[in-house]
Structure 1
Amino acid sequence: MSTTSKDRLRLWLKVLKATKAVESEVRENLRRDFSTTLPRFDVMAALMQHDKGLKMSELSGVLKVSNGNVTGIVERLVEDGHVLREKVEGDRRANLVRLTPAGKAEFARQADAHEGWINAAFDGLTADEAQRITESLDAVARRLENGGKA
């Protein structure tokens, strides 16, 4: 294994370690400050991007999780008054879900706090360093998404 290869392997392990640490911090902060979970936050974030709502299957696709995973989360958000679930006309099996006004307000509070937590987690990086890392990781993702081609 070449020195470059070993350096890249170490980089991958550091990216994983940092990801796990940041995610753990975010999960704990959501639990402590909002009595919620990261999956609920993720569902609300996805719905915030789709004002007219999403079918449950579309929501699962956006989140890249199974319909079963999303169903329980949506059910709790409905009980909390943050999400509406409506039948889709012409498709008895499909449900459309969207944020309620209360859900939008609650997500805005959570998203504001989330941004602060992420900013604090990356506080040791300058704006230029953050930009360079972002561009490098984007390049890796694009190459892999294109079947290994640049």
Structure 2
Amino acid sequence: MWLRLLTTTTLIEGDLRARLSQYSDISLPRFDLLAQLAREPDGLRMSDLSARLMVTRGNVTRLADQLEREGLVRRLSGPDRRSVILRLTQLGKERFDEVASAHEDWVAQLLDALSGPEQEQLSRLLGKIKTQINTRRSTSGG
């Protein structure tokens, strides 16, 4: 089952990468970062982005540097002066919105082998596994 999950994830990710590269100059990691910021109009701390994207802070910093140079995000001082908040600019929101609609359609196409109820069931089952893993992590301190 684990190999099936991993293979399916890899196939979906590869398809989305290919479609994004044909559709725009926004790579999948850049899209994922912009998507996180689009959900949080007040922005996110770099450390929170790192946790949400499950990548290192260095990766987030490199992506942020690129996106800032392109005018898609801007850095703001955090409340404690040591943290940095990353926020979408208006241009960043517009660029993300252009790609997000297409991305949503692609994901729907990739998952259309499952009926609506099957997709809901799969989502519930994966959520159950995620909850169990997070519970074990929090109780074991890791």
State the TM-score, normalized to the length of structure 1: 0.82
Match of 1:38 among 10, 22, 28: 28
Higher alpha-carbon Rg: 1
Instruction: Give structure 2 stretches of 5+ with no counterpart.
Output: 138-142
Report the equivalent of 2:140: none
Give me the identity figure in percent: 34
Is structure 2 residue 124 aligned with structure 1 residue 141? no
Query: Shift of residue 147 of structure 1?
Result: 2.1
Moved more, 57-66 or 36-45: 57-66
State the secondary structure of the residue aligned to 1:147. helix
Counterpart position of 1:64: 54
Offset at residue 94 of structure 1 (A): 3.2
The letter of the residue matching 1:35 is D
Matched residue type, 2:123: T
Q: Could you tell me how far 1:89 is from its partner in structure 2?
A: 6.2
- Aligned pairs, number: 137
CA distance in 2, matches of 1:73, 1:40: 7
Q: Give the alignment partner of residue 118 of structure 1, picking from 107, 122, 135.
A: 107
Matched, 1:28 2:18: yes
More deviation, 54-63/40-49: 54-63
Q: Kindly provide the CA deviation profile for residues 13-57 of structure 1, in whole angstroms up to 9, marking residues without a partner as x.
A: 211111110000011111111112111111101111221112222
Structure 1 stretches lacking a partner, 5+ long: 1-10
